[in-house]
Amino acid sequence: MSLDIGPGVLGLLGPNGAGKSTLMRLVTTHLAPTEGTIYFNETDVVSSPNTLRESVGYLPQDFGVYPDLTAQEFLSYLAAIRGLKRGEARERIDDLLTLTNLHEARNRRLGSFSGGMRQRVGIAQALLTDPDLLVVDEPTVGLDPAERVRFRNVLSSLGDDRIVILSTHIVSDVEATATDVAVLADGQVRAHTTPEQLLAEVTDCVWEVVVSQDDLQSLKSNYITSTTTRRSDGVHARIVTEGDPPKDATPVSPTLEEAYLDLLEEPDTTVSGENA
């Protein structure tokens, strides 16, 4: 694969097993490639990994905390490990606790935090050194809807002056935050473009049709079906097709998830935008 990434939020999409987490470990130098290389500001970080390690913040998929420490203590501990001076660390931690809406909970033990609050602590620790590159891997898995919205808002605010790579299989997270999208499948880049361009690929290809429960399985067998909603007049299904839709189908505006599903159905098609 080959990707050229600039400032902003890159949504890295792909099904489970596509290679997203492996790529994130490569980018953050936690894993060395068997071949190929990674450049950061024109420096080969495979041969000189410390040049990137000084500029990267990482929130892995499985982020652990010390449950008996408070948020303030945990971040102070990590700041000391990363070489921040005490005064600088105190000011930085105060700013990050405010950014992640954890200032009022700074003296609570992490063992009492919800999943979403722990993820926000994870973002805070990833930003301790004010990195130029922030990598977050499946950050909203297991969060309730309200926590997911809060987390998205934090991520969106961070992409103005740095590279943020958001690796996920939850398309709505990308739709809410990303300025660019890269889709991985079977270890290959299937697309690297803007959300708008990806949506343009399925313009006039998304339809809504009302079917009975008995006919729903047949519909799913013949069309990419993104959503189904049961109502009093039957099952309202949204489908994606470049061919003829079922009788009485109504055209609707596509979502990013529908563009993503359509792309995964095309094994050899690559979509590239101007910034790819």
Q: What is the pLDDT of residue 255?
A: 95
The sign of the CA dihedral 52, 55, 60, 66 is positive
Looking at per-residue pLDDT, the higher value among 194 and 142 belongs to 194
- CB 184, CB 20: distance < 8 Å: yes
**What are the pLDDT digits (tens) for 8-59?**
999 999 988 899 989 999 999 999 999 999 999 899 999 999 988 889 999 9
What the block records as the tokens of 90 is 């105190």
pLDDT at 116 over 90: no
Q: What is the pLDDT of residue 273?
A: 53
Residue ranges covered by each domain of the chain: 8-195, 200-272
- The mean pLDDT value of the chain amounts to 90
274 — pLDDT class (breaks 50, 70, 90): very low
What the block records as the tokens of 205 is 């290809």
Contacts of residue 54, defined as CB under 8 A and 6 or more positions apart, other chains included, come to 129
Please spell the DSSP secondary structure of 209-263, one letter per residue. Answer: EEE-HHHHHHHHHHSEEEEEEEETTEEEEEEE-SSPPPTT-EE----HHHHHHHH
The CA distances from residue 176 to 10, 51, 149, 170, in Å, are 12, 31, 9, 11
Q: What is the pLDDT of residue 73?
A: 97
**What are the pLDDT digits (tens) for 149-176?**
888 888 888 888 899 999 988 898 999 9
87-120 residues labelled b (16+ CB within 10 A) or e (exposed): eebeebbeebbebbebeebbeebbeebeebbbbb
Which architecture does CATH list for 8-195? Answer: 3-Layer(aba) Sandwich (3.40)
pLDDT at 178 over 90: yes
**What are the pLDDT digits (tens) for 215-268?**
999 999 999 999 999 999 999 999 999 999 999 999 999 999 999 999 998 644
pLDDT at 189 over 90: yes
